[in-house]
A and B are shown apart, each in its own frame.
Chain A
Amino acid sequence: MPITYTSGEQVEVYRFSIPVTIFVPLLSLFVQAFVPLRFPWFAVYFDLPLLVTIFFAMARRSPIAGLLTGAFIGLAQDMLGHNPIGIYGISKTVVGYGASSLGVKLDVENAGARFLITIGFYLVHSAVYFTVARALVNMSQSWSWSHGIWAGLANAVLGTFLYFALDRFKQRT
């Protein structure tokens, strides 16, 4: 019997239709690639594919589904850049696993929890990316706490609204 800090209703597992499973991550990748052409700061502060990964992982509450979702979205994001494929993949795999594991144990339906979880996972994602890029790929990276916190806050605000919008696509199992 797993120890949970949520009611039986709150740990309910959701599923999504196939079109939503495919097109929402694709749309997030598309927006992430297109919006910076007009608003360059968007790519600096926001990571829409990360928010989508967190949302799907928390909603499904299955670590395997979460890590696979993270891996696919991360690898797709890698493919759009020119760096070796796998840096975002590894980062988002870890985030997907963590978010879905946390979703089992915590109430992740309210805005406050979502806000804090998003900040936390943004920092985890940045830390894993930094480690992999620096240690495995030998990319010159610089860690900035101020940027991490500000970007985490920005993603948390956006994520809170985005999660409520995506809640509409949830289907009870």
Chain B
Amino acid sequence: MESVLSRYRNLIILVGVLFLQVLGLAMQVKRGNDTQDTRLIRIWAVGAMSPLERSLVWVRNSTGVLWHNYFYLRGVRAENRQLREQIEQMRLEQVRLSEDAAQAHRLQSLLAFKEQFVSKTVAAQVIGSSGSDMSRVVYIDKGENAGIRRDMAVITAQGIVGKVLMVYPTVSQVLLINDQSSGVGAILEKSRLQGVLRGAPNGEVMLERVMSDEQVAAGDVVLTSGGDQIFPKGLPVGAVSKVGNGKDLFLTIKIKPASNLSKLEEVLVLLEKQERQAIAEDKRVRAADILAQRLPSVPDKLPAASATGAIPGSSAQSAAAASVVTPGSKPKITNPITPANAPPAKTVSPVVVPGATSTSAQQPISKVPDSSAAAKPKISVAGGNATAPEVPPADVAQEKPATPAPAQSNSQPAADNNDPH
């Protein structure tokens, strides 16, 4: 027996060591491959590696900064000029986009749409990787101490990168979107088709679960759908690079990630993403209110006297002052004739505003509107599209100079609506 043991000692030890590792592997698999179970063991390796990696990254960055900021300044002047031109173009673009965004917010508020947005991020430096193409993870130089938690989204300015998988005090492990075990909810920007973004064994990124009868073309932009509860909706993912027929009635869609996953240097970790209504509740406005804002001739509050037949011309100044519409204010259009306070029919008589036109000429700031128009402002909303009340263009032209300059986005459509041409 002893001779057998000594003869096969090496083999027995090999089998023993392999058995122990298989046992450990089986325990991890049984627990559902949750890396938190092996956190204590992994932290040794990360703790041994990260100081070296961090210091090497620091040396590399310092050298790069020294070289690029103090020595290699060729072409900086031309680049500066080019960037200035680019800024000017982007400013123009921003004005257009802000108008679109404002309109989108108004529509979203009508649908009670809740949007998620990035509210707090922390920048981190990529300091290492797993060193294996079987495990596509990177390490960043920020951890628990910087507020990073598990399952936080990691992005760059170009697009999404991955999610935080393991967090240590000063280092975090980030699972890249091209890893096989990664999954991201994605949506095609044009067709609004939804799918799941997964990594392939060779490191490519594939969009799965898109039916083969759908139309997807190379170049289509892919965004996050927000369905994974990790990435906020609308972040750029990449673009479709190749489409083919896959198995099981699904398309094989290859995606070129927007971020260069193989050469990551700095990333942003989304510490907080908030969910809110497109427009806050207290700022919710109705289409009629928006139109009322755009109509300076509609008074903020009708003079009570007009309902009772009193002539408001006597206090035209005060009435005029009250009817000035300022941008952002919500003029309350109240119908003075309600069942509760309606005067008896016999006491109501046609009201004539003497010298209404002359008053308007003298008081260009605002004028008391025609009583019939004031009592029944013709604001109609049909099919979700509000139509402007019938206001004589001349009145608007008189009102314009006196109205405090409202925001461009609000004033322009009103003018367009009132334009007789």
A residues near B (Cβ < 8 Å) are: 26, 29-30, 32-38, 40, 43-44, 48-49, 63-64, 67-68, 71, 75-77, 79-90, 93-94, 97, 101, 129, 132-133, 136-142
Q: Are B131 and A137 in contact (CB under 8 A)?
A: no
Interface presence of B28 (CB below 8 A): yes
Q: Are A137 and B29 in contact (CB under 8 A)?
A: yes
> A33 contacts which of B14, B130, B133 (Cβ < 8 Å)?
B130
A64 and B44 CA atoms in complex are apart in Å by 24
Which of B48, B132, B165, B265 has the most A CB atoms < 10 Å from its CB? B132
| A133: chain B residues within 8 A (beta carbon) | 134
Which residue from chain A places its CB closest to the CB of B42 in the assembled complex? Answer: A79
A54 and B56 CA atoms in complex are apart in Å by 27
Q: Are A84 and B17 in contact (CB under 8 A)?
A: no
Q: Are B135 and A82 in contact (CB under 8 A)?
A: yes
Interface presence of B25 (CB below 8 A): yes
| B46: chain A residues within 8 A (beta carbon) | 79-80
Knowing A30-B52, A44-B133, A140-B201 touch, does A84 contact B25 (C-beta < 8 A)?
yes
26 inter-chain pairs at a CB distance below 8 angstroms, sorted by A residue, are A26-B48, A33-B128, A40-B262, A43-B133, A64-B9, A64-B13, A71-B21, A76-B45, A77-B131, A80-B130, A81-B135, A82-B35, A82-B135, A82-B165, A82-B181, A83-B134, A84-B29, A85-B25, A85-B42, A86-B22, A87-B25, A94-B14, A94-B18, A136-B29, A137-B25, A139-B134
Min distance, Cβ B204 to any Cβ of chain A, angstroms: 12
Q: How many A-B residue pairs have CB under 8 A?
A: 147
Min distance, Cβ A67 to any Cβ of chain B, angstroms: 5
Q: Are B10 and A64 in contact (CB under 8 A)?
A: yes
| A32: chain B residues within 8 A (beta carbon) | 131-132
Q: Are A86 and B45 in contact (CB under 8 A)?
A: no
Min distance, Cβ B338 to any Cβ of chain A, angstroms: 68
> A90 contacts which of B22, B38, B126, B201 (Cβ < 8 Å)?
B22
Which residue from chain B places its CB closest to the CB of A42 in the assembled complex? Answer: B131
Interface presence of B81 (CB below 8 A): no
Q: DSSP majority for the A interface? A: helix
A94 and B10 CA atoms in complex are apart in Å by 12
> A71 contacts which of B17, B45, B137, B139 (Cβ < 8 Å)?
B17
A165 and B322 CA atoms in complex are apart in Å by 90
Min distance, Cβ A108 to any Cβ of chain B, angstroms: 18
Min distance, Cβ B192 to any Cβ of chain A, angstroms: 29
Q: Are B14 and A86 in contact (CB under 8 A)?
A: no
| B109: chain A residues within 8 A (beta carbon) | none
Q: Are A37 and B137 in contact (CB under 8 A)?
A: no
Min distance, Cβ A112 to any Cβ of chain B, angstroms: 27
Which residue from chain A places its CB closest to the CB of B166 in the assembled complex? Answer: A82
The B257-271 residues at the A interface (CB cut-off 8 A) are 262-265
Which of A30, A36, A37, A40 has the most B CB atoms < 10 Å from its CB? A37
A77 and B134 CA atoms in complex are apart in Å by 11
Which of A36, A38, A75 has the most B CB atoms < 10 Å from its CB? A36
Q: Are A79 and B165 in contact (CB under 8 A)?
A: no
Interface presence of B5 (CB below 8 A): no
A152 and B296 CA atoms in complex are apart in Å by 80
| B24: chain A residues within 8 A (beta carbon) | 85-86
Q: Are B264 and A37 in contact (CB under 8 A)?
A: yes
Q: Mark B112-148, 1 if CB is under 8 A from A, else 0.
A: 0000000000000010111111110111000000000
Interface presence of B381 (CB below 8 A): no
The B162-190 residues at the A interface (CB cut-off 8 A) are 165-166, 173, 175, 179-181
> A136 contacts which of B26, B38, B134, B173 (Cβ < 8 Å)?
B26
Min distance, Cβ A34 to any Cβ of chain B, angstroms: 6
